């Protein structure tokens, strides 16, 4: 037996949900990639702070001062968690999508952006500004191919500003990308690089210094801190040179009415420039609390525990021939606790509905906001899925139009993975299903 640490306490461990027959079971949350449950520690920290809640940067009272201090300390905690360089900034945002849109808004006009088509839509789409050009790179089939493709795209791309956007770990396959090598390639060609760490940061320590990326973005709600905050961290020069992402109080240092009737603004430098409006202090505090909790629990031990669960899952699924795991780099490639698959003769939406209704297991089905990647993995371009997933693919033998994703993390007990594997085995042994009737009738063809 492998000696691994215990899961960290999270909220929702004892939540009971009804099954189709009326019986109740404890919920198995296996959708961490969408939103992870809050660490108990984050919840406790937030509850302990709540009586002292006050406005940040906007009050003379004691609790306002305290909240301001905690907000700025949270920034420092995140900087330490990400191992930032001197001079790097931490900007609090709403989540990864917001962070990447913020970065897109500060890119100098004419910046050439390079992104693999395998990205999550949050890192694929924000660059579509009129004054930028975007080069989408085809899905690579190995980490080496990814680096070579980027090198090729950047070679001869000129002297102007360039940005590469890359994911640290895929939200579909869970595969870990060769970030350090891609950053080196980007820098060799004078490009900057932003790391979408939405899926990597909750599962692996991220060192900005060591990976040598220019920016990193992640979401609190995937890092066990579901209180509405995310982070964009990294180099300050483009952030300080651009117009604020949002215009308003907090972003402006002075505002004066001119004699000609216009209004002159001097904007802040530093993170405040892009944090207009009253800051989400509880969200920031929760993110910092999660960073501390992961570090104090021993992030490396959590990584080991997750790898142990991944092996348990892989071994279980390997014994079920109807299951096809989706992968770009091969099933043996290192991954985080995220895995997508299809089941022969099953519609993925119906399969996921059955996992919920008959076993109390919460997974996700669909195209996971990464349509080009999932279509590539499923083998070809497909029509957009209908509201119910893809009922038209539910006939036996037809190709799936969407997939099922199982994902877990620091709070997942062995039992959830075991229950999941047993449920998959039982469902496929029921034989081909061309329709699964959920109780509410949502996916009845």
Q: Which active-site residues does the annotation give?
A: 369
Q: Is 97 in the site for ligand PMP (CB under 6 A)?
A: yes
Q: How many CA atoms lie within 13 A of 341 on its CB side?
A: 24
Residues 123-142 that bind ligand PMP (CB under 6 A): 123
Given the complex with ligand PMP, which of 121 and 344 has the nearer CB atom? 121
- Regarding 349 and contact with ligand PMP (CB under 6 A), the answer is no
| Range in contact with ligand PMP (rule: CB under 6 A) among 95-103, 125-133, 208-216, 384-392 | 95-103
Contact call for residue 388 and ligand PMP (CB under 6 A): no
Indicate whether 340 belongs to the interface with ligand PMP (CB under 6 A). Answer: no
Q: Does 198 help bind ligand PMP (rule: CB under 6 A)? A: yes
Residues 6+ apart with CB under 8 A from 3: none
Q: Are 277 and 301 in contact (CB under 8 A)?
A: no
| Torsion region of 190: left, alpha or beta (phi above 0 gives left; psi -120 to 50 gives alpha) | left
Tally the residues of the chain: 445
**280 near ligand PMP (CB under 6 A):** no
Which CB atom, from 77 or from 199, has the smaller least distance to ligand PMP?
199
167 binds ligand PMP per the rule CB under 6 A: yes
For the bound state, the minimum distance from the C-beta of residue 167 to ligand PMP, rounded and expressed in Å, comes to: 5
List, in order, residues 6 or more apart from 293 with CB less than 8 Å away.
8, 39, 41, 42, 224
Within its chain, how far is the Cα of 172 from the centroid? Answer: 10
CB of 82 or CB of 428, closer to ligand PMP: 82
Alpha-carbon distance of 121 to 215, in angstroms, equals: 18
Reading the block at residue 19, the tokens are: 């099954």
Q: Say how far apart CA 68 and CA 45 lie, in whole Å.
A: 16
Between 120 and 419, name the residue whose CB sits nearer to ligand PMP. 120
Does residue 196 belong to the site contacting ligand PMP (CB under 6 A)?
yes
- d(CA 322, CA 101) in angstroms, rounded, equals 40
288 interacts with ligand PMP by CB under 6 A: no
Applying CB under 6 A, which part among 42-50, 63-71, 191-199, 282-290 lies near ligand PMP?
191-199
Q: How many residues bind ligand PMP (CB under 6 A)?
A: 14
Helix H, strand E, coil C: the string for 105-118 is HHCCCCCEEEEECC
Interacting residues toward ligand PMP by CB under 6 A: 95-97, 120, 122-123, 167, 171, 196, 198-199, 219, 221, 369
């Amino acid at each position: 037996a492998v000696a691994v640490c215990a899961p960290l306490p999270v909220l929702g461990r004892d939540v009971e949900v009804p099954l189709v027959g009326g019986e109740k079971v404890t919920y198995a949350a296996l959708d961490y990639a969408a939103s992870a449950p809050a660490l108990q520690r984050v919840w406790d920290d937030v509850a302990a702070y709540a009586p002292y809640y006050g406005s940040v940067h906007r009050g003379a009272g004691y609790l306002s001062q305290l909240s301001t201090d905690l907000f700025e300390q949270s920034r420092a905690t995140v900087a330490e968690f990400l191992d930032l360089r001197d001079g790097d900034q931490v900007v609090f945002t709403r989540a990864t999508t917001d962070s990447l849109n913020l970065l897109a808004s500060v890119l100098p006009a004419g910046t050439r952006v390079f992104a693999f088509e395998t990205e999550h839509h949050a890192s694929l789409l924000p660059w579509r500004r009129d004054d930028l050009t975007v080069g989408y790179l085809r899905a690579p089939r190995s980490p080496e191919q990814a680096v070579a493709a980027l090198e090729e795209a950047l070679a001869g791309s000129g002297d102007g500003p360039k940005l590469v956007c890359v994911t640290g770990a895929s939200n579909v396959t869970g595969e870990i990308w060769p970030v350090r090598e891609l950053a080196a390639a980007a820098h060799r060609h004078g490009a900057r690089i932003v790391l979408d760490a939405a899926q990597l940061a909750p599962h692996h320590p991220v060192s900005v210094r060591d990976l040598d990326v220019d920016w990193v973005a992640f979401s609190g709600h995937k890092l066990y801190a579901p209180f509405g905050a995310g982070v964009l961290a990294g180099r300050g020069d483009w952030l300080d040179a651009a117009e604020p992402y949002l215009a308003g109080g907090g972003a402006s240092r002075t505002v004066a009415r001119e004699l000609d009737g216009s209004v002159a603004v001097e904007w802040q430098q530093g993170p405040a420039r892009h944090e207009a409006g009253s800051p989400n202090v509880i969200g920031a505090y929760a993110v910092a609390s999660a960073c501390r909790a992961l570090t104090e629990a021993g992030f490396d031990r959590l990584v080991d525990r997750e790898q142990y669960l991944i092996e348990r899952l892989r071994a279980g699924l390997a014994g079920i021939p109807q299951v096809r795991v989706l992968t770009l780099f091969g099933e043996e490639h290192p991954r985080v606790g995220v895995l997508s698959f299809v089941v022969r003769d099953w519609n993925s939406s119906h399969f996921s509905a059955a996992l919920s209704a008959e076993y109390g297991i919460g997974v996700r089905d669909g195209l996971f906001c990464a349509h080009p990647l999932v279509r590539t993995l499923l083998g070809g371009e497909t029509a957009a899925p209908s509201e119910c997933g893809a009922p038209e693919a539910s006939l036996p033998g037809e190709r799936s139009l969407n997939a099922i994703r199982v994902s877990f993390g620091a709070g997942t007990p062995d039992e959830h993975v075991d229950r999941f594997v047993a449920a998959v085995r039982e469902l496929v042994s029921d034989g081909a299903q061309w329709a699964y009737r959920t109780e509410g009738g949502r996916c009845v063809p």
